[in-house]
Structure formats: C-alpha cells, structure tokens
A and B are shown apart, each in its own frame.
Chain A
Amino acid sequence: MRLQDIDTPRLRARMRDGGVTLRLSPFTVRVRSDIPHLADDIATMYRDFELVDEREFVDFHVAVLRSPHWLSRLQGRAEFWFDGQRSFTPLPAAQALAMLEWGINWCIAAHAHQYLLIHAAVLERGGRALLMPAPPGSGKSTLCAALAHRGWRLLSDELGLLDMTTGLVHGMARPINLKNASIPLIRAFAPEAVFSASMPNTSKGTVALVRAPQASIQARLTPARPAWVVLPAWRAESPAALMPIERAQAFMGLAEQSFNYDVHGQAGFQALGRLVGSCGCYRFEYSRLDEALTHFDRLAQAAPASAPDPLPEHAR
C-alpha cells in the first residue's frame, strides 16, 4: 500500500492518532502530527512511498505536534518530537514540513552509523553515482534539482549513505530542499517539478521542497557505485568550469562534510580512501544552470576510467 492510496481525511486522522509509517528505504519512519496541512504536504511529497505494516520494526518515531503551551499555541507554533522527546526549538506551524524534513535528517545523521554519512547531493546516471559534498550555500541543492530534472536519478539532495562494505551509495529519493532565490530559479527551469508551498522566515530564509521525480522514486531501492566526486560552488557571473582536483583534496572535502567520519575512525578513513581512489575528482564553479548541465552531460558521456565493479547480487 502506498501513501496515495489513503484519502486526505483518513490520512489526517491516521497521522493525528497513531501516525503513518513510511518506508524511506533503507529506513522506516513513523510520522505523527496533529497539523492537518502537514498531512496534506506529506501526501504530496511522499505519495509514491510505501506504507509499512504496523507490526514492522520502525527506525525512527517522529512527530510534529502543536505546542501545548498556551503562548506557543497562540503563536501557532509546532514542536518536533523524536522517540517521545521534544527536540529543537519550536517553529511556526507553517514551517512544519521543513521541520519534519530537517528532523528526519537529524535522526539519520545522529543514529545511522551503519553507514558513512556524507552531507552531499547524490545522483546517478548510467549506473554511476555523482557525489557532490558541499557546505550550505554552495548551490548544491539547486544543481541537484536541475540535474534530477534533466535525466539524472536523484538519490539524495543532502544525505549520501555510503555502505563501507560494498562501497555503494544509497539514497532515499526524498524531497529536495530549496532555499530563497533557488525556488523561482528551479520553478522556471523545471516547470514540471512539484513544489510544496514556500515557507518564509525560516532560519534558512524561505524554503520550499521539491518532490523527487517519479523515475527516481521508482528506482530508489537501487544503490549506485560512486564514479565522480565534485565539490560544487556557485559564483555569481562565473562561467561554468569543471576542474580536476587531487584525490587527497577530494578526500578531505568528503571527510569535512561527513556527519560521522569521526565515529568510524580507521574504517571510515579506509572507506573514503577506496571511494576517492575509484572516482574522478573535480571542483566545479558555475552561475548558470544550462551551462552547468552541459558539463555534467559530458562527464556522464565519457567512458569510465576503469570498468566499474558490478553491483553485488543483493543490491540489484
């Protein structure tokens, strides 16, 4: 059963009562909320995701609930809850969807140490994965949204899950988080993209989520083998330029953008070493999306440096 199989009144009721459990592979997340418009937003962003049987194990129990305190309630604030504990500062209920997405990201980043977690956009084409680790404000999500709507499969716009045993990277095809000027830019660039309502005045400015393209959602269970590491940077008026960098520099870029590299110690060091050793590594500057995409198309058309290892049987 998929989320879209539940009609709006039933979904609102289920989310208010016990919650719904979404399969955000490789995780399962139970979401509960007493905010009706959040149920509607989730229905839009996650309509093609499967619901998990209530008896199955749940990795993360989260909730976005109206604040019980009278002043917060008067101000229309909402709180994020994880495993029965209130977490983070309450935010306006109008920002509930952003809060939920950030909260789920936090749950994964803080707990999913079976993976090496990299703050990176991850896309795939021709069976090869592109990792773009970058700090906030580098234009990573904008570029990711553009690529995802021009033939690249979206795995994630900000959480790359590296399996240190297989070397494969997993994604969840969750919505892309766009901010400020990127929102009208991607609306114009990809009119077919499905947006949430814009949420103004968040700590990151105005935020809107973009649903992953259908093909990416359908293929979300298939991991990909990394082939390129690209450190992106948006620079005003800069012509697009893809410049090779040393693997050692790409390594440091990935390590700096990992949420749990320090947790894994030497195993993480070795895993990142294998990753950059098998990838072409670049720095990328751009200001215009069309120009940027030309570079990535050329990258995808070029023959791989060496024949990629096939996916292990269990990963297909």
Chain B
Amino acid sequence: MVSATLGSQTPGKVYPDLPDQSPLGAPLDWAWLRGTRSEWGIHPKPSARGLTMMDIAVGSYAEVPEHPPHRSMAPRGADVDDSTADMGYILNWKTDMWSANVTELYEEAVARQWSATRDIPWGELHELPSDVEHAMCQLCTLLTEVEMIAADLPAKWMWRMNHDFIEAKMFLCTQIMDEARHAEVFRKRALANGGGLLLSRSGPTSLLRTIIEAKTYTQASALMHLLGEGFVLDIFRMGELIAPTDVEKRIFRMCMQDEARHVAYGTMHLRYAVDHDPDVAEEIHAALDHGEQVLIDFGTAPDVSTALALLLAGGADQVEEKGFPLATELTKKQLTSYLARCERAGVGRLERTTIPLDTLGIDVEQIRAAGGGQVAAR
C-alpha cells in the first residue's frame, strides 16, 4: 500500500489505503493524486455568455510563455514530466504566431459559425439574365478556387507550432473550418441557379503559390491574412453590393464576417511580432514587396476584373460606362484599407510599396493616421 496526498486543495490529506498493484498485478502510480505542481482550485466563473476561454485565463493558466520549455502536446499549465516526447515543433516563440486578440477571436469564431446548407435562403434564387448569371458563376469559380488556400496554409504550419500556444492553434482551426464553408458556399452557388463552374486559368496561381511557399509562418501570415484575405474581404464587400438576389447578399455578408476575423488576427499577429522582435519587420516587408506584385497581377487577371465589372454594371450593356469606373474606385478603397492595416500592423508600406498611390489618388495622410491605434500586447 502507498499513501497519497491531494495537492493544494486539501493539503496534507492522505489516502492510506490505495493499492500499489492492480488486480492483475501491474504496478500503480498515484502521482496525479499525490499533488502536482499545477495550480489547483482556481474556480473560473462563467461570464454572461457561458464559460469562455477568457474566463478560464486565470492564475498561472493565463500565462503564455515567450519561449516554452517543452515541445510536447502537454496542455499548458499541466505538470509536465521531463520525459515527455519532443514533437519537433519549430515555431517555439510566442512572436511566431501570437496576437493580442487571438483568444477573443477564437470565441467570436465559435459563436458566429454558420451553415452553408441551412443559413442561406437557397429557395429564393430566381432566374437571372444570362450575362449576370455567367458573371456570378465566374466569380464563384474563382472564390471556390482561392478560398482553400486560407485552409491549406494554416494546416501547413499548425503542426509545427508549439502546443503552449493552443489559443492561436484553436483560432487557426476555426479559420480552416471557415474556409471550407466558403469553398462550399461558392461551389453551391455556382451550381444552384442553373449555371456551373466556369473558367479557371493561371491568374490566381502565382498568388496562391507565393502564399503557400512562404519561408516563415509570419511571412505567410502577412501574405495571406493581411494581403490576400484583406483583398478578398473587399471582394466579398463588393459581392454584397452587386449581389443580384438576397441569396448572394446573405452569402457575401456571412463570408465577409469570417474573413474580417482572419484579417484581424493577421494584423495583430504582425503587430505582436514586430513589437517584440523589430528585426522581423524586414522579413515581412520582403514578403509583401513580392506579394503586392502578384496580388496586382491577380486583381487585374481578366477573369476576375471582367466578372466584377459586369456585376458592378448590372449587365454587359454598361460595363464600360459604369462597371470599370466603379471597379477602379473600389480598387482604390481596397488598397487604402490594406495600406492602413499595414500601418496598424507596424509594417507601414507607404515609403516602400510600388503600388502607384498618386495615380490611384490614394490619401496617404489618412493611411498614416491608422498607425496611431495601439492595442496592449499580452
């Protein structure tokens, strides 16, 4: 027989009658009952919406180390045995993937999940003019193609992230689910109204390859969250504007909510990284130098620009008079939003970008002001 003591909850309590062998004769270990170095008895209280990840971030469980001592899948806060296996993580610094808002964004993502099957009023689709249906199907073809990059990319890196940064990994899991749903909803829309999937050419590929082949996660995050998803967020906003029926309105609004969360994570991840490791800024700039070029190639690819212009015009008849001028105006807003987010992320691009700011009439001072916002890093 061995005796066991129950940690700090009832210090000194002894269980003298515990067996030291199982009924089959195997040795038993009661170390978990004898008391560990983990914090015991913290009693987190649920908030109005339930027990959130923020609610349980108390005591030592709220402490996210800058550089965890272990590289195992042990949950942060557990009493980790020194013999626990090394999982081979390569992203072992908090600056590698953390963002100050990541826990809140995880809860937001979980709370705001939706179903492409159930939450879109598919029954309200009605026949559209052929040119408009073709343009919508072309846009959906493109979006079905590009959305999964934002699932593949975190999947590529997550298994290399130290498990102590569990909140960041959990958030990236929600992003993967979001992107699966986006691919689903655009595929469904392409097929649901009598059209189908249309043309896929090499235009988007260089952007997608640039993202997936980024050398570091932070570069990948800059390319995907800040640049790519920021750009797609504005395409979703345009999609809502040009939606021919309430069905597409709803699709684009739901997708833009998800996409904006991803952008919010990426912006604040870069901010966290740059604030804690200023040397990383150059690494991000180098990625964006190239990324902006391939993004412009992507944005001006014929299948993207023509489909959007036709939808903005409401049909083929006014594509030159209305469609392209409105597209140009919205591109200006798109780039303004992107450059403002760069300022906020601590990687101001105004002195470095090759985007023709003057030609596009982009207000540089408005963008510069965006860098003033501060979020306390934690």
Tell me, yes or no, whether A binds B. no
